[in-house]
Copies of this chain bind each other. A is one copy, B any other.
Amino acid sequence: MPGRAETRLQAKILTRLRDAGPQSRIQLSEHFEVSRTTIGTELGRLTALHLVEEIGPAASRGGRRSTVIDLAGHVRFVGIAIGATSVSTAVTDGRLRVLAFERTECDVRRGPEPVLELAAEQTRRLLVKLGVDRPLGVGVGVPGPVDFSRGIPVSPPIMPGWDGYPARDLLGRRFDCPVLLDNDVNVMALGEQHAGAAGTVENFLFVKVGTGIGCGIVAKGELYRGMDGCAGDIGHIPVADSVAVCACGNTGCLEASFGGDALARDALATAQSGRSPLLRELLERTGTLTAADVGEAVGAGDATSVQMVRDGGRRVGEVLAGLVSFFNPSLIVLGGGLTLLGHVLLAEIRGAIYRRSLPLATRNLPIMMSDLGPQAGVIGAARLVSQEVYGVAR
């Protein structure tokens, strides 16, 4: 029955083992510039807590072989990423490597009870399959603002019925372990920080272009959530040349002119108007059009679809250009469903940012696609709760 780390050094050791893999005592003491003795005593306690274990001797460095320490083999975390239209779950080991993953289509608008029931059941299935008795922690991402300290969604525009629903505490009782609830883009940013290109970067933005558009902010190596937990909600920033009516009631929101829903709507209008024979064909085949259909059309070289994506990408890029001037990040990672639109979208966003931001801010600013795909959210959710269990910032 493993416990939780207590001291600062324990947290640093566990984090190091999580992010850099198994280490010898010597390596740890050199990395943290702390004596072998200190590392040794803390490792003793962590062993007693069943959080780490010795996994065998390392190669000799000319003398006695050192013993390699790793996170205990039985440690398991659960990451749950609830999207607008899907629920993804993963079980990971202590180093957040995904051991099992499952994704189910599910509309978040069905309300908290059925969606969380589905998520919990999906999780239970994976845990049983892996023979896991009890995970050390569960991280959850939901597509709306969250009061992180209380673990409840607040005024989520696309999640009717979720406002104030005590999701964290209910899941905590269900799984009998620590549960943390956060915004979906926030956990995706954490996922990118863990497994993606953002690993060593202090300040970066994770921009999700999916059904909606949102942004996870990492400042000085830590998630920034804002006063109400709604920082990064860039989907409703006005864009210049748009009068599209948004679900939020305003007009000209970025999300109303691009993003999954807007793209599907525009594709439908385009298909019906006959400007794109390819889209019309796709519409007639399936009876409906989605953003993925537009992606397919772009891949097939459909000029009208390419233009739609370009226009959208330019608008996203123009909004991001302003945010780059404001935030001066070291990196921007693009993720979410619409990354299927690939290099056309990336090129347009890059062009807009490099054209419209301060040269000083873009001089060393890589802008790249996430390579974690649908797993960014679940890995990040697991990372979120791993920090709690490993005692980071306590």
Q: How far is the CA of A220 from the CA of B326 in the complex (A)?
A: 17
Task: Please encode chain A, from 229 to 262, with 1 for each CB lying within 8 Å of some chain B CB and 0 for all others.
Answer: 1111110111010000000101000000000000
Name which residue of chain B comes closest to A239, CB basis: B240
Name which residue of chain B comes closest to A215, CB basis: B326
Contact B228 A325 (CB under 8 A): no
Does any Cβ of B come within 8 Å of A1's Cβ? no
Q: How far is the CA of A326 from the CA of B224 in the complex (A)?
A: 10
**Of A3-11, A358-366, A371-379, which binds chain B?**
A358-366
Contact B326 A234 (CB under 8 A): yes
Interface hub of A154, A232, A325, A330 (most chain B Cβ within 10 A): A325
Contact B237 A361 (CB under 8 A): no
**Of A37-45, A46-54, A88-96, A314-322, which binds chain B?**
A314-322
Contact A360 B155 (CB under 8 A): yes
List A317-338 residues whose CB lies under 8 Å from chain B.
Answer: 318-319, 321-323, 325-330
**With contact pairs A226-B328, A227-B203, A227-B330 given, residues A360 and B154 touching in the complex (Cβ less than 8 Å):** yes
Q: How far is the CA of A359 from the CA of B360 in the complex (A)?
A: 33
Contact B326 A238 (CB under 8 A): no
Contact B145 A360 (CB under 8 A): yes
Interface of A, helix, strand, loop or mixed by DSSP: loop
Name which residue of chain B comes closest to A359, CB basis: B155
Does any Cβ of B come within 8 Å of A310's Cβ? no
Pick from B219, B222, B325: contact of A237, CB below 8 A: B325
Does any Cβ of B come within 8 Å of A103's Cβ? no
List A212-228 residues whose CB lies under 8 Å from chain B.
Answer: 215, 217, 219-220, 222, 224-228
Interface size bucket, A side?
A: 35 or more
Copies in the complex: 2
Report B-chain residues with C-beta under 8 Å of the C-beta of A228.
328, 360-361, 363-364
Does any Cβ of B come within 8 Å of A356's Cβ? yes
Report B-chain residues with C-beta under 8 Å of the C-beta of A105.
none
Does any Cβ of B come within 8 Å of A202's Cβ? yes
Interface hub of A215, A238, A357, A360 (most chain B Cβ within 10 A): A360
Contact B240 A326 (CB under 8 A): no
**With contact pairs A202-B227, A224-B220, A227-B364 given, residues A236 and B358 touching in the complex (Cβ less than 8 Å):** yes
Contact A326 B329 (CB under 8 A): no
Q: How far is the CA of A203 from the CA of B224 in the complex (A)?
A: 10
CB A308 to nearest CB in B, in angstroms, measures: 22
Pick from B227, B322, B357: contact of A329, CB below 8 A: B227
Q: Which 8 A-B pairs have the closest CB atoms?
A: A226-B328, A231-B328, A237-B322, A227-B330, A155-B360, A240-B240, A230-B360, A230-B328
Q: Which residues of A contact B (CB under 8 A)?
A: 145, 154-155, 202-203, 215, 217, 219-220, 222, 224-234, 236-238, 240, 248, 250, 318-319, 321-323, 325-330, 356-361, 363-364
Please give 8 more A-B residue pairs, beta carbons under 8 A apart, in addition to A217-B326, A322-B323. Answer: A202-B227, A227-B330, A228-B360, A230-B361, A232-B326, A233-B361, A250-B356, A323-B326
15 cross-chain CB contacts under 8 A: A155-B359, A203-B227, A226-B361, A227-B329, A228-B360, A228-B363, A229-B328, A230-B358, A231-B327, A233-B325, A237-B322, A237-B325, A238-B240, A238-B318, A238-B322
